[in-house]
Structure 1
Amino acid sequence: MSLAQVVQHLAILALTAACVSWGRSWWRRRKPNALALFLCLLSLEVAFVIGAYYPWVASVIEVPSLTQVIIHTAVLSCVFWLQVFTLHLGTPPDDVVRKSRTRLAILGTCLLGLYVLWILGPLRQGLPAINGSFGDRPYVLAYLSVFSMSLAWAIGDIAWTTRFARHVPDRYLRLGLHFIRYGSIFGLIFALHKFVQTLAKAVGTPLPWLEYSEYTGVSTYLLSIGTFLSLAGFMLPSLGPRWERGRTMRRLEPLWSALTAQAPELVFSTNTKDAADRLRNRITEIRDVLVGPLQPYLHPSSAERATELGTGRDLTGDELQATVEAATIAVALEARKHDIPAPLTTAIVFNGPSAADHGAEAAWLAKVSTAFADSEVVRTVVREFTEQEIDRANS
């Protein structure tokens, strides 16, 4: 198997993974942008799979050059759904419907033109392929021109629409849009180059550089780079948050393990496979232990001492607050072990992010957990508390 074939099959595997991910996302949430991206990826995979097994598919279909027409249809459908997806990200819903209909009308007109030209030219003449080598045959040049310019317009529209990517608040979606935009730019250059090359071949003066080859060729480079960047853009919005949730779960482990060991009955018995649900459960379990069995042991003096030590170590802002919370929790665990409740004063309330914002709360508790496991301030406060209580017990 050649290097080009290996890359082609890896791209198909990546597309399949992206299709499954976005298909599940749409099925769970039924958001129109997820459906648009799923259909975009599905169309692109159809084009890739047929391209990878072109001789076999052509032998099954048996209609001259129809296999190539199907690939062109899938490619144009792919960029149409990508246009719709990018519209959903920065356009009011009512405008999305209107603009999507306009783009659908353009797609329908282009596809109608392609099929009419294919029937009048390549099909009637029994041509095995539709490319610049047959550019002197009737309707072939017109067919290739319609396809190339339709593709160039759609990709250019995507590149223009994604110019607002820097304003998207979600980090992975913003990065994915940047990748899609850069991939679209390479795709636009590819489409324009293909159009110029087709014209040049039709008049008998092809461009002097190599267009396609297994390892080289201008179109090979443009198509490969554009496809890679676009695939990365498709995958990032789904893989990025998943990776982030896994990382947050690992960071929460020290705090969660210590707290739930004190109250295992508060751990949810439901074993869900969804990473987002598991993370929400873990946050709830941590909060339940803090406001339940551990609440009477949250000593205000521990928070004051941790603030004093943290300030002395130049801790400020969120880092200081996370360290104070971690120290207070660590002391409470030690106090509960020895049954030393806090004095009957005002209860300690941790001023973390709103519980409604699971992402922000998870990130905050991850900071607290890191301080709980690694902070020297936390260890010092716990040691001082333990020594003080031992001295008090012996006196």
Structure 2
Amino acid sequence: MSTPTIVAGALWLVALWRLPSIRHSHKQRSLALTLVTLAAAMTFEVSQVKEAVDASVGADVRLSPLLKQMLGVTSAAYLLDFVIAVVRPQGLARRARLVAAGVTLPLMLAFYALANWTPGGPVRLGGGRDALFPLLYMTVFTLYIGVAMVVATWLFLGGVRHSRTLLGKAGLGFLGLGTLLGSLYALQRIVFVTVHLASGASYPGLENLFSTTLKQATALSVALGVCLPPLSVAVEYVAAWSTLRKLRPLWAQLTEAAPYVVLATAIGRRRIPFRLERCVIEIEDACLALREYVSVDMHTKARRFVRQEGVDVQLSDAVAEACWLRAAAQIARNGKRLRGVEYPPLGVTGRDRDSELSWLRAVAHAYLSSPVVFEFVRQEQSSISHEQGASERISSHDN
């Protein structure tokens, strides 16, 4: 299997994967059409396809280069539309872009029809009195591709720093690399044409090598860049599922002691990020409710106990939090809220999203499995029982 066939096949796979998203939004529609037109353009690089198309209309007409390059212009227009929708949602020179694409395609058709093409091989400047038309054709095509790719490169690479995920940054980076290679493709076409016009020398083998390599590298880089952001979404989904699975046991324990914090609205099982968000909210609401059953002294005792037990410094705050939370949950089942006292502070307060989830995972692990937490709660229960027994004996003696 030839390299052009592999490249075209890879592009069609990515294009068909993204095609269903064409109805979702303007941005997704532009991306899907970029991939379809780019895949179609690269299909004309496959020799069997190129020969079949040219044979169907006559070898002298050589329709395949025109179709390939017009599809390339269309793909560049849609790609530019996509990057502007991503990086500059407020828009960027929309009317100028429409006019440029609307003028470029008819001019390419006209100049191609008037050009005196060299029979066989890649598209050349031609010769004789009609050499002007191939030059005009190549000028219009190269100018549009070059300007579009330079602008897209600037936007893609400028948008990398605004992406919030590593894979999102990598995706924009590969898209920027692809458009940069597209810019180099346009530049090398200009160089070879200039050399030919200035000296009459031509290097068809070298020109074809540069042109083919840059086109294929551009297409593959764009395809890879398109694949990475959805992969980022999948990674985030799996991470959310893993975090939810770790937090659910803590949620069950805390909401059993404070069931009134649980929201009544049901959520679909597949909506993992939304379920995680709700789980976190209800855990934090339960913590706020349970801390009303203990005073700040309980928090101080938990921190002191954790230090005495030699818990690692990096985990000590989370383990102390789990200690007083578990004790508060035990008291909440049978006790009453305390009034007029200072309540324990919540360790989750003031954290960003990643730190918040990391903190809750550490608290959940300690709450459910730390021997230090179980021992602290056992001692607190013994102390409370002892105090209650002493209070009952005093009351009986007074009577």
- The TM-score bracket by the shorter chain reads 0.7 to 0.9
Measured in 1, the distance between the counterparts of 2:182 and 2:287 equals 60
Question: Which of residues 185, 194, 204 is equivalent to 2:180?
Answer: 185
Structure 1 pair 328/272, CA: closer, same or farther in 2 (3 Å)?
same
Amino acid at match of 1:180: L
Amino acid at match of 2:38: L
Question: Which of residues 340, 355, 378 is equivalent to 1:387?
Answer: 378
Structure 1 pair 183/74, CA: closer, same or farther in 2 (3 Å)?
same
CA contact (8 A) 1:113 1:146 kept: yes
> After the TM superposition, which residues 226-375 of structure 1 pair with which residues of structure 2 at under 5 Å, given as runs?
226-260=218-252, 270-271=267-268, 273=270, 277-288=271-282, 291=285, 295-296=289-290, 303-304=299-300, 307=303, 309=306, 313-315=312-314, 335=330, 339=333, 344=338, 350=346, 352=348, 361=353, 363-364=354-355, 366-372=357-363
CA contact (8 A) 2:83 2:156 kept: yes
CA contact (8 A) 1:141 1:199 kept: no
Structure 1 pair 281/373, CA: closer, same or farther in 2 (3 Å)?
closer
Measured in 1, the distance between the counterparts of 2:320 and 2:55 equals 70
Amino acid at match of 1:85: F
Residue in 1 that maps onto 2:396: none
Q: CA deviation at 1:238?
A: 2.9
CA contact (8 A) 2:142 2:186 kept: yes
Question: Which of residues 68, 73, 80 is equivalent to 1:83?
Answer: 80
Measured in 2, the distance between the counterparts of 1:302 and 1:373 equals 19
CA contact (8 A) 2:323 2:367 kept: no
Say which SS state the counterpart of residue 205 (structure 1) adopts. coil
Say which SS state the counterpart of residue 131 (structure 1) adopts. coil
Measured in 2, the distance between the counterparts of 1:391 and 1:227 equals 71
Within the alignment, does 1:17 sit opposite 2:14 as a pair?
no
Q: CA RMSD in A?
A: 4.4
Amino acid at match of 2:13: L
Q: CA deviation at 1:208?
A: 7.9
Within the alignment, does 1:121 sit opposite 2:112 as a pair?
no
Residue in 2 that maps onto 1:101: 95
> After the TM superposition, which residues 134-283 of structure 1 pair with which residues of structure 2 at under 5 Å, given as runs?
135-136=126-127, 138=130, 139-171=133-165, 172-198=167-193, 205-207=201-203, 210-212=206-208, 217-260=209-252, 270-271=267-268, 273=270, 277-283=271-277
Q: Rg larger in 1 or in 2? A: 2
Residue in 2 that maps onto 1:42: 36
Structure 1 pair 193/293, CA: closer, same or farther in 2 (3 Å)?
closer
Structure 1 pair 183/382, CA: closer, same or farther in 2 (3 Å)?
same
Q: What is the total number of aligned residue pairs between the two structures?
A: 366
Say which SS state the counterpart of residue 210 (structure 1) adopts. helix
Q: CA deviation at 1:349?
A: 7.5
Within the alignment, does 1:73 sit opposite 2:96 as a pair?
no
Measured in 1, the distance between the counterparts of 2:146 and 2:170 equals 23
Q: CA deviation at 1:344?
A: 2.7
Say which SS state the counterpart of residue 115 (structure 2) adopts. helix
Deviates more, 1:304-313 or 1:44-53: 304-313
Q: CA deviation at 1:10?
A: 2.4
Q: CA deviation at 1:157?
A: 1.7
Deviates more, 1:33-42 or 1:113-122: 33-42
Q: Which runs of 5+ in 2 are unaligned?
A: 387-399
1:249-294: CA deviation from partner (whole Å, max 9, x where unpaired): 2133111244247769979765355xxx321123214433653699
Amino acid at match of 2:178: G
**TM-score normalized by the length of structure 2:** 0.71
Measured in 2, the distance between the counterparts of 1:76 and 1:131 equals 16
CA contact (8 A) 1:254 1:372 kept: no
Structure 1 pair 289/374, CA: closer, same or farther in 2 (3 Å)?
closer
Measured in 1, the distance between the counterparts of 2:279 and 2:222 equals 39
Structure 1 pair 73/368, CA: closer, same or farther in 2 (3 Å)?
same
Q: CA deviation at 1:129?
A: 7.2
Amino acid at match of 1:252: L
Residue in 1 that maps onto 2:53: 58
Structure 1 pair 268/57, CA: closer, same or farther in 2 (3 Å)?
farther
Deviates more, 1:49-58 or 1:5-14: 49-58
Percent of pairs with identical residues: 18
